[in-house]
Chains A and B, each alone.
Chain A
Amino acid sequence: MANINLDSIKERTFDAIVIGSGISGGWAAKELCEKGLKTLVLERGRDIKHVKDYPTTNMYPYEFEHRGEMTYADKQENPIANRCYAYREDSAHFFVKDNEHPYIQENDFDWIRGYQVGGKSLLWARQVQRWSDFDFEGPGRDGFAVDWPIRYSDLAPWYDHVERFIGVAGNRDGVNELPDGQFLPAYPLNAVEDYFKRVLASRYTNRHVISARCAHLSQPQPVHIEQGRVQCQNRVLCQRGCPFGGYFSSNASTLPWAAKTGNMTLRPFSVVASIIFDEQKGQAIGVRVIDTNTKEETEFYSRIIFVNAAALNTNLILLNSVSNRFPNGLGNDNGLLGKYIAFHSYTAVMSAEYGGELEYRTDGRNPAGGGYIPRFRNIYKQETDFLRGWAATFSATRNPASNTSGVGASLKEQLLNPTLGNWRVHSHMMGETIPKESNRIWLDGDRTDDWGVPLLHIDVAYDDNDWKIQADYFEQMTEMFDTAGFKNIKTRKDDRRPGNDIHEMGGVRMGLDPKTSLLNKWNQLHACQNVFVTDGACMTSTATQNPSLTYMALTARAVDHALDQMKRGDL
């Protein structure tokens, strides 16, 4: 260290460090920079500039060598990535390849990762629903995990704040289980989605079909135009990156916004190996970064650190941040770091046909994807033999399709003249999973990746509650489809592995008691308060909602708190 002069240390010292540039890291960067903090944003992957680095974004299907399909060799080499629905020829460059970043599966677990600036915010499904108190109060009421240290009222203003900035298309549906927000006009349901909504409303008191709420600019506001984003053009090619900025991503929105303040330093190719804890000061003082190209190690320093490396990697960094004070990982006094990992169970799919509403068809594409059925099981009280429940998508389509039977002139004629058949309806389940100690991750004692960082063991599995939820989904949806007069109803058990939902959460959970949780109600490590964790790792339970909106709101709230504490001299 002798050759490092003071100037060099000064150059490597910031007010704040953000680890990760994905959906929550981007928000941390924006909020910190806006509030005047010199902020270093560390990203392990390469830079992806909005539009400029979306190489496939304007390509037609015939311009792809394999028309979108992944090759057989790629499927053999990258079975994990290939099991992700979005991993296709137009988007494969935004996914981690299996053998470049190995991990150890104690049970089958698909760890889907996007190592680049923007992370998985380029690839996400863009569905955004608020949590309600029925979710925050779940663990306390039902006796699993630990009680959340916050309630809906703590987060509501931050949901407002985030929704206004990212742009969320939705209706004010007045459903208690899914609080309304600051919405742009919704993408309306189509004829059969509306029909199904009416059927459920007439038959049940608590089952709703609403327009799926999505982070798309259905009607851009000045704040979106200021970000350089314009109206969504219904391409639904989002996974390529959107040249219109029609959907929210770090790349299109928070990162350029943060950069504009002049306060952000973005450093790609920088993998954080660990957080440096200063025993004298009793707090974290910076991070150890390994340049992914040169493998050189550099330290960066700051007053506060936001860990937004994506749920499992955030766990990994903390587990790998050992010191005399924290021999088992930063903030890990109770031994619970890396435990109580949970996810969403996406193991059930339904389809059917409907022969009504045939005077209508769908035209163009719906970026929201259709309808959403909020959880209706066990809302006000426990009423089934399983805990919690499921939400579901519900969508209907009626596009001209070609008959591919036969050969010769008739086949050609059919292909050139697609016809309208019945409506096709689809649904998939999004089940809440119960966090438990046995679903956990830990570091390997010997094996490391190419950058000297220990490999992660992942031991996460479904449990009996998940299968009961699956059975209930099939039973209830079948009954609802039947009631609606849908025909050819098909249930399909989706044998996807945990992780394939790409909603892995927990390991660094929030809670009131330092003995049973890692983070306090402001997302600070109980035992090292200038370190904040606001990505999926902080989640105490999973609810059924798509989680990204909640990560973003928690992040903005935590930054606000950090600033308050810094002003008061507490941080």
Chain B
Amino acid sequence: MQRRRALKHLLFIAGGMVMFPSCWRDQRKSSIALSNLHINSEEENLLAEIVGSIIPESDSVGGKGLNLHLFVLKMVDDCHSEEDQHVFMRGLRAWNREMKNFSGSTFVLADPPQRHSYLVTIDQDKAHPLSGFFAITKRRVIQGYVNSEYVMKNEVIYELVPGRYNGYADA
């Protein structure tokens, strides 16, 4: 339902950036135009759930609400090596299989505490088979989040024109 609602707007805002949907009726493709990654809508939805678990909704909008999964896709597609892209795709495709081993459920069907403990496990275990995928994803989610229009305007304010410098400000 969420996806359908988003599609009605035709444009996605990924962390404040407008992205044009490509072939949005086609379930075999991602909702944004990508040059190197081949992502279907199921994988895209899964990534949205992962991103939403890395930075969850609370009293403020989280990673999913900011469409940061699209930002992650954009960055992995444009700013990473082919090798990184393979790691990313392999990790995304292995995600549910590993999750089932871990908790007996797919990620999308798991409840929030289950998802969280899965993420914590991968985050802390550098030898985990999904570690590479997770490092790329987490890094890009954090980047997209702290540099999002929402955060920069409402939470940790970014000043384009500070107009001052004080080297002895009170700590």
Chain A: residues with CB nearer than 8 A to chain B? Answer: 58, 60-63, 65-67, 69-73, 187-191, 193-194, 233-235, 237, 358-367, 398, 402, 404, 406-409, 411-412, 415-416, 418, 420
Contacts and interface: CB of A to CB of B under 8 A. Distances in A.
Given A60-B160, A235-B161, A364-B162, A408 B53 contact: yes
Interface in B22-78: 53-56, 58, 60, 62, 74-75, 78
Contacts of A359: 170-171
B146 A362 contact: no
Contacts, number: 130
A72 B35 CA distance: 12
A366 B167 contact: yes
Interface string B123-162: 1000000000000001000111111110110011011111
B87 interface: no
B163 A234 contact: yes
Contacts of A69: 75, 79
A66 B76 CA distance: 10
A193 B167 contact: yes
Contact of B166 (A60, A61, A363, A406): A363
B109 interface: no
B7 interface: no
Contacts of B146: 402, 415
Given A71-B78, A412-B55, 17 more contacts: A60-B152, A60-B158, A61-B147, A62-B16, A66-B75, A66-B79, A69-B75, A235-B162, A360-B170, A360-B171, A361-B171, A363-B164, A365-B165, A366-B165, A408-B53, A415-B146, A416-B155
23 contacts: A60-B149, A60-B160, A62-B149, A63-B17, A66-B75, A69-B79, A71-B78, A188-B167, A193-B167, A360-B167, A362-B169, A363-B169, A364-B164, A398-B171, A408-B55, A408-B56, A411-B54, A411-B55, A411-B142, A412-B55, A412-B58, A415-B145, A416-B155
A407 B60 contact: no
A404 B135 CA distance: 12
B16 A63 contact: yes
A361 B17 CA distance: 32
A73 B81 CA distance: 9
A62 B120 CA distance: 28
Given A72-B80, A415-B146, A233 B17 contact: no
A69 B71 CA distance: 13
A318 B35 CA distance: 46
A557 to B, nearest CB: 34
B78 A412 contact: no
B116 interface: yes
A198 to B, nearest CB: 14
B165 A364 contact: yes
A71 B84 CA distance: 13
Given A72-B80, A359-B171, A407 B120 contact: yes
B165 A187 contact: yes
A98 to B, nearest CB: 18
B135 to A, nearest CB: 11
8 shortest interchain CB distances as A-B pairs: A190-B167, A363-B169, A62-B16, A364-B164, A364-B165, A364-B162, A363-B166, A407-B119
A65 B74 contact: yes
Contacts of A420: 171
A433 B163 CA distance: 38
Nearest to A232: B163
Contacts of B123: 406-407
Given A61-B152, A71-B79, A235-B161, A364 B58 contact: no
Nearest to B71: A67
B54 A416 contact: no
Query: B interface, by DSSP: helix, strand, loop or mixed?
Result: mixed
Nearest to A399: B169
The CB with the most chain B CB atoms within 10 A, among A58, A61, A67, is that of A67
A554 B25 CA distance: 66
A194 B167 CA distance: 10
A412 B56 contact: yes
Contacts of B138: 407
Contacts of A416: 60, 151, 155-156
Contact of A62 (B142, B147, B155, B166): B147
A412 B15 contact: no
A418 B116 CA distance: 23
A233 B163 contact: yes
Given A193-B167, A235-B160, A416-B155, A62 B54 contact: no
Contacts of A188: 167
B49 to A, nearest CB: 13
B106 to A, nearest CB: 19
Nearest to A57: B160
Given A408-B119, A416-B156, A418-B156, A67 B147 contact: yes
A446 B162 CA distance: 53
A406 to B, nearest CB: 7
A409 B167 contact: no
A407 B54 contact: yes
A234 B159 CA distance: 10
A237 B162 CA distance: 11
Contact of B163 (A73, A364, A406): A364
Contacts of B56: 408-409, 412
Contact of B142 (A65, A72, A404): A404
B144 to A, nearest CB: 8
A360 B168 contact: yes
A372 to B, nearest CB: 15
Contacts of A233: 161-163
Contacts of A191: 167-168
B116 A407 contact: yes
A230 to B, nearest CB: 11
A425 to B, nearest CB: 13
Nearest to B113: A408
Nearest to B167: A190
A412 B81 CA distance: 28
A62 B15 contact: yes
